[in-house]
Chain A
Amino acid sequence: MPRTARDVVFVDGVRTPFGKAGGMYAQTRADDLVVKAVRELLRRNPELPPERIDDMAVAATTQIGDQGLTLGRTAGILAGLPRSVPGYSIDRMCAGAMTAVTTTASGIAFGAYDVAIAGGVEHMGRHPMGEGVDPNPRFVAERLVDPAALVMGQTAENIHDRYPQLTKARADAYALRSQEKVAKAYADGLIQPDLVPVAARDVEAGWGLATADEPPRPETTLDGLAALRTPFRPHGRVTAGNAAGLNDGATAAIVAAEDVADELGLTKKMRLVSYAFAGVEPEIMGIGPVPATQKALARADLGIEDIGLFEINEAFAVQVLAFLDHYGIDDDDPRVNPWGGAIALGHPLASSGIRLMIQLAALFEQHRQVRYGLTTMCIGLGMGGSVIWENPHHTSTTSPKGSAA
């Protein structure tokens, strides 16, 4: 049967405010965070009849307890979706939500779905990284991976080793700019429109309402950053200040076939151009975005110079700098994370991919001169993921180069 791949659009995305592990969501369930995000997403998009949703993919890294039990299905039921909407869970660690988007988008392109919900959650307070893992003893016995590969902070130190020009000073300066950009974006009211307020309860203090991200530290200074200890190595370079923290949060997005979005009158915030995932040595997992982006660009027949906006996940400042150096982009290039990133906002692992997309979508609307944008992130055990998006607001948009349509 001849088949035509369909164009896929990012219709809309929302997220809960991100919390610090042990902070405002300490007594809030992870599945409840997903439910709040999905319900608000649907409320914001009344043109989408819920029964038109063909699947719901929700990512989490630690899929046990309130992040287990096939979250995509349970959260759908808890959110009040029609019982006819199926769901499933996804795990690609930090790129869980990104993978939820690319996987459902692929289903759409193939013609299996018209509309899907993709989401991600990580409650690192309730589920610390590595909870319940049981690595195969062969990893160590056969030296399949360096023992450092399982400790993300050590993989970041390893990048500093590999690229001596990526100094702690550059990493701290980058981290400070992230805090400053987030503070400015908040002051300008750019972050808030896509946040879902969450009623979070504390047994002693009662109900509260989370309306803003908890991690940002606008008071950050270079001196302060320089004084922080380096927990992964004596006299190391990676600190709590130049890395993302341990966070709680959930994200959700609607992806749809472009023709179906048109039929239903859905917004089209971004058009999917290409995506790619790539593997690297696990002990330097942070450079994953470099080959992933190469692959995604090649598949779209684009060059790095075609990308007008970058949303790169800031798991560690050094890993962002490695990407920028590779592609010859300045540390403070205004196209990169213009509203700041995970160092300030937080990185609830499997939820972050959609946070990048939400921010890129909002930036697209403001930067109509930009045609292509990139969301990219590094992934534990040595991977990277990249998704290239086209700006539907771009003034001279035609069919994107390299798309299958």
Chain B
Amino acid sequence: MSADISFADEVVTRSPVRYVDLPLGAGRAALITLDNGHDPTKPNTWGPAGLEGLDATLDEVAARDDLVAVCLTGKPFMFSVGADLKALRTLSTLDQAVAIGRLGHRVLGRLATLGVPTFAFVNGAAMGGGLETALNCTYRTVSSGAAALALPEVFLGLIPGWGGAFLLPNLIGPDAAVTVILENPLSINRMLKPRQALQLGVADAMFEPADFIEQSLTWAAQVLRGDVVVARPEIDRSDAWDAAMTRGRAIADAKTHGTAPAPYRALELLELARSASREDAFAAEDMALADLALSPELAASLYAFDLVQKRAKRPVGVPDAALARPVTTVGIVGAGLMASQLALLFAQRLQVPVHMTDLDADRVEKGLAYVRGEIEKLQGRGRLSPDAANRLRALVTGSTDKAAFADADFVIEAVFEDLAVKQQVFAELEEVVSDTCVLATNTSSLSIAEMAAKLRHPERVVGFHFFNPVAVMQLLEIVRAERTDDATLATAFAVAKLLKKSAVLVKDAPAFVVNRLLTRFLGEVTAAVDEGTPIEVADAALEPLGLPMSPFVLLQLVGPAVALHVAETMHEAFPDRFTVSPNHTRLVEAGKPGVYVWPDGVQQVDPEVAALFVGGDHPSTADQVLERALAALAEEIRLMLDDGVVAAPQDVDLCMVLGAGWPFWDGGITPYLDRAGVSERVNGARFLPERPDAVN
């Protein structure tokens, strides 16, 4: 018999049924409601007990002979977001993993075999197994107010394994299925709006939320009476299917570089869906789901997902929020690109006056012009109403006089990365601002304590390190210096929350977390080039990590000069581990934007850079570069943890996921280092237990 897959704390989604007389005299239908008994903020999910409950409901429904249809909908504002991830975490054997796939297939599959048409009324969010519940039905309506529809399994490291991988391409065609199953999940987990779901054919009809269930029942009656005929596309199983598979593979390669198993298993299933029977396809989904469910990539992915969902929202080590002081006026020192981005972000999210200053009126005007231009763009794209745009424009002002900061509660400096300059800025500010005004610095590598050293109130200085581009990158490193007090820190975290950033508390150590690791890692790759390894070999060596971009592409994005500056700072702090590459220095001296050029869109090493670089005579293989870079990462993380830069490996991983875009399936980085054996080899121990619990 099937393995036991029940788990103790399942929040069971019930499926009570009522029998209703359809409009237009179409007959009697069963109307099943999915409801876990909680408010809409706690979504319906499927676990073993919930599925068994639906099974029992379907037994009752199947035993009746007076029904013309079976309809299924959700509790208010919510259809179902699919499998309870807790169920996946408790799996430990292949039998269990197969059993959960089979249970879903058996129960949800009944929706296709009841002998009467089945209708899913997708009244709210439908994701993963929730959307598959609907896909197993004969017809689907969607509410124009539904939050989102998606099959996000591949994003997490799974495949749509309760019928989705087979049913969707056979419903909407292979190309659209590639979009929903692969492309969207791999694009920061993009989701479908109801209208898109309708256009793609995922839903057959869309109605407004005000009387969605009534209209859906009326539509069902019309379908049953033949008044409405549902047109479904003819599925091209030859050329179009080939083309879709090719496109899907290209997407998987581009996004994961072959390092994540899930998209490729999804592609196999999509290929199978072209010709396989439902039974065979479902059986293949069971096996794929089971393999992936037990894979280290999924464990890492669920761990990273939890970090982002939970730890990012409840940062560790933060003082009581009640200590935070209100921030009703913000000052920004500097009007350069970074400062201007900050001005816009603070004005948008805090909705309070933001004042920028710089040394001369031209720079201030340039900064303000940037902000106005961005507001214009947002308005042009319909993201801001004219009134909201006016409000924002009025909030952001600028001048050359720091006296304007007199009533500021929070002033952040984003001036040139030079300790003396920043000390000077803070000293000037202290003459103007109140004693409790928070002074924040966006420095990426300088010591906060030294910056605050000469102030009368060093306790109000805090590091507030954004990542570029400010509007997009989710991470904020909040740096507590030796003398930073709790009220300042609490205020910084409160501001971060208002900015909708995920803040991680870090110690005042050189380059904090993300830049320290990226610099260390880039230093190893560059050193390999310095020693004679070809640029292409060294840069490709890290592909097994599946990073969003290779080290030298990242260097080009950051800018060689900025990266060199950080490398020098780090070399000064830790000369034995951080080097300054002579080739990197040559690159900056030559004023090159990076090592690559893209003639005709194809990446190649800039011949001028190749000529510029001086290589040694002991090149490494790609494997050697990889091993060396990973060892360096493991060593550096261990040292950071021992030094208390962050509280736990989880914080390192959260930083790398949100600040550098490192993949979920690596878990950020420490789960990868653990599973690759690097942690034990370098440090003698893993970073995390075998089954990492992300939250604690």
- The 0/1 profile, CB within 8 Å of A marked 1, for residues 137-181 of chain B is 000000000000000000000000000000000000000000000
Q: Which residues of chain A have C-beta atoms less than 8 A from B541's C-beta?
A: none
B217 touching A197, Cβ below 8 Å: yes
Which one, A141-149, A203-211, A255-263, A286-294, is touching chain B?
A: A203-211
- Is the pair A207, B33 in contact by a Cβ cutoff of 8 Å? yes
Given A207-B73, A209-B31: A79 in contact with B20 (beta carbons within 8 A): no
Which among A35, A39, A197 is the interface contact of B23 at CB below 8 angstroms? A197
Cα A36 to Cα B23 in complex, Å, equals 15
Question: B-facing mask of A342-362, CB < 8 A → 1, else 0?
Answer: 000000000000000000000
Cβ-based interface call for B107 (8 A): no
Check: A100 CB closer than 8 A to any chain B CB. no
Which residues of A in the span 216-232 have a Cβ within 8 Å of any Cβ on B? none
Q: Indicate with 1 or 0, residue by residue over A21-42, a CB within 8 angstroms of chain B CB atoms.
A: 0000000000000011001100
A207 to B79, CA, bound (A): 13
Complex contact B33–A206 (CB within 8 A): yes
Would A203 and B20 count as touching, CB distance under 8 A? no
Give the chain A neighbours of B218 by CB distance below 8 A: 197
Q: Which residue of B lies closest to A207 (CB)?
A: B33
B31 near A206 with CB under 8 A, answer: yes
Instruction: Tell whether, in the assembled complex, residue A206 and residue B16 are in contact, meaning their CB atoms are under 8 Å apart.
Output: yes
B213 touching A199, Cβ below 8 Å: yes
Chain B window 10-52, contacts with chain A (Cβ cutoff 8 Å), 1 for yes, 0 for no: 0000011110111100000001110101000000000000000
Q: Is B315 part of the binding interface, using a Cβ–Cβ cutoff of 8 Å?
A: no
Q: Quick one: which of A78, A80, A201, A211 contacts B20, CB cutoff 8 A?
A: A211
Residues of A within 8 Å of B22, CB to CB, are: 209
Does A198 have its Cβ within 8 Å of any Cβ on chain B?
yes
* CB of A283, distance to nearest CB on chain B (Å): 43
Interface residue B582 (Cβ < 8 Å from any Cβ of A): no
A79 and B17 alpha carbons, distance in the complex (Å): 28
Check A80–B208 contact: CB distance below 8 A.
Answer: yes
Q: Which residues of A lie under 8 Å from residue B76 when comparing CB positions?
A: 201
A278 to B172 Cα, complex, angstroms: 65
A199 to B123, CA, bound (A): 12
Residues of A within 8 A of B21 (CB): 209, 211-212
Contact present for A39 and B31 (CB under 8 Å): no
* B side interface size, CB within 8 A: 22
B214 touches A209 (CB 8 A): yes
CB distance from A83 to the nearest CB of B (A): 14
Cα–Cα distance between A205 and B18 once the two chains are bound (Å): 7
- List residues of A (39-69) whose CB comes within 8 Å of B's CBs: 39-40
**CB neighbours of A36 from chain B (8 A):** 210-211, 214
Contact A208:B23 (CB < 8 A) given known A35-B211, A197-B217: no
Say which size band chain A's interface belongs to. Answer: 20 to 34
* B72 CB, nearest partner CB in chain A, Å: 10
Within 8 A of A (CB), among B387-421: none
Q: Which of B73, B76, B210 has the most CB of A within 10 A?
A: B210
Q: Give complex CA distance A35, B211 in Å.
A: 8
How many angstroms from the CA of A182 to the CA of B599 in the assembled complex? 83
Q: Do B18 and A206 touch across chains, with their CB atoms under 8 A apart?
A: yes
Inter-chain contact B214/A199, CB cutoff 8 Å: yes
Q: Please classify the interface of chain A as helix (H, G, I), strand (E, B), loop, or mixed, using the class held by over half of its residues.
A: mixed
What is the CA–CA distance of A201 and B73 in the complex, to the nearest angstrom? Answer: 11
Pairwise interchain contact B213-A207, C-beta atoms closer than 8 A: yes
The reply to whether A79 and B31 form a contact with Cβ atoms under 8 Å apart is no
- Name A196's closest neighbour in chain B (CB-CB): B214
Which A residues lie within 8 Å of B217 (CB)?
A: 197, 199, 209
Would A208 and B20 count as touching, CB distance under 8 A? yes
Asked if A208 and B214 sit within 8 Å, CB to CB, the answer is no
Q: Are A39 and B20 in contact (CB under 8 A)?
A: no
Q: Closest chain A residue to B34 by CB distance?
A: A206
Residue of B nearest to A211 (CB): B21
- Chain B residues with CB under 8 A of A40: 211
* Chain A proximity mask over B490-509: 1 for CB below 8 Å, otherwise 0: 00000000000000000000
Q: CA–CA, A39 to B213, complex, Å? A: 13
- Which of B17, B32, B210 is in CB contact (< 8 Å) with A80? B210
Q: Could you tell me the distance in whole angstroms from the C-beta of B303 to the nearest C-beta in chain A?
A: 36
Across the interface, do B35 and A206 meet the contact criterion of CB distance under 8 Å?
Answer: yes
Write out the residue numbers on chain A whose beta carbons fall within 8 Å of the beta carbon of B16. Answer: 204-206
In this complex, the member of B18, B37, B211 whose beta carbon has the largest number of chain A beta carbons within 10 angstroms is: B211
B37 in contact with A208 (CB, 8 Å): no
Q: Which residues of B contact A207 (CB under 8 A)?
A: 18, 31, 33, 73, 213
Knowing A199-B217, A201-B76, the reply to whether A208 touches B211 (Cβ < 8 A) is no
Are B214 and A198 interface neighbours, CB within 8 A?
yes
Contact A203–B37 (Cβ < 8 Å): yes
B20 touches A209 (CB 8 A): yes
Residues on A with beta carbons closer than 8 Å to the beta carbon of B20: 208-209, 211
Which residues of B (75-112) have their CB < 8 Å from a CB of A?
76
Q: Which residues of B contact A39 (CB under 8 A)?
A: 210-211
B35 CB, nearest partner CB in chain A, Å: 6
Which chain A positions have C-beta within 8 A of B214?
Answer: 36, 196-199, 209
Report the minimum CB–CB distance from B470 to chain A (whole Å): 36
Is the Cβ of A211 less than 8 Å from the Cβ of B31?
no
Q: Are B210 and A78 in contact (CB under 8 A)?
A: yes
Give chain B nearest CB distance to A256 CB in angstroms: 23
- Using Cβ atoms and an 8 Å threshold, which residues of chain A touch B211? 35-36, 39-40, 199
Residues of A contacting B33 in the complex (Cβ-Cβ under 8 angstroms): 201, 205-207
Cα A261 to Cα B21 in complex, Å, equals 34
Closest chain A residue, CB of each to CB of B74: A207
Chain B nearest CB from A152 CB (Å) reads: 33
Question: Which residues 54-71 of B sit at the A interface, judged by CB distance below 8 A?
Answer: none
Q: When chains A and B are docked, how far (Å) is the Cα of A40 from the Cα of B22?
A: 16
CA distance A36 to B210 in the complex (A): 7
Chain A residues closer than 8 Å to B31, beta-carbon distance: 206-209
Q: List 27 A-B contacts (CB under 8 A).
A: A36-B210, A36-B214, A78-B210, A79-B210, A80-B210, A197-B214, A197-B217, A198-B214, A199-B213, A199-B214, A201-B33, A206-B16, A206-B17, A206-B33, A207-B18, A207-B31, A207-B213, A208-B18, A208-B20, A208-B31, A209-B21, A209-B22, A209-B31, A211-B20, A211-B21, A211-B23, A212-B21
Q: Which 6 A-B pairs have the closest CB atoms?
A: A206-B33, A199-B213, A209-B20, A206-B16, A208-B18, A207-B33
Extra contacts, 8 of them, besides A206-B33, A207-B73 (Cβ < 8 A), are A79-B210, A199-B217, A201-B33, A203-B37, A206-B17, A206-B32, A208-B31, A211-B21
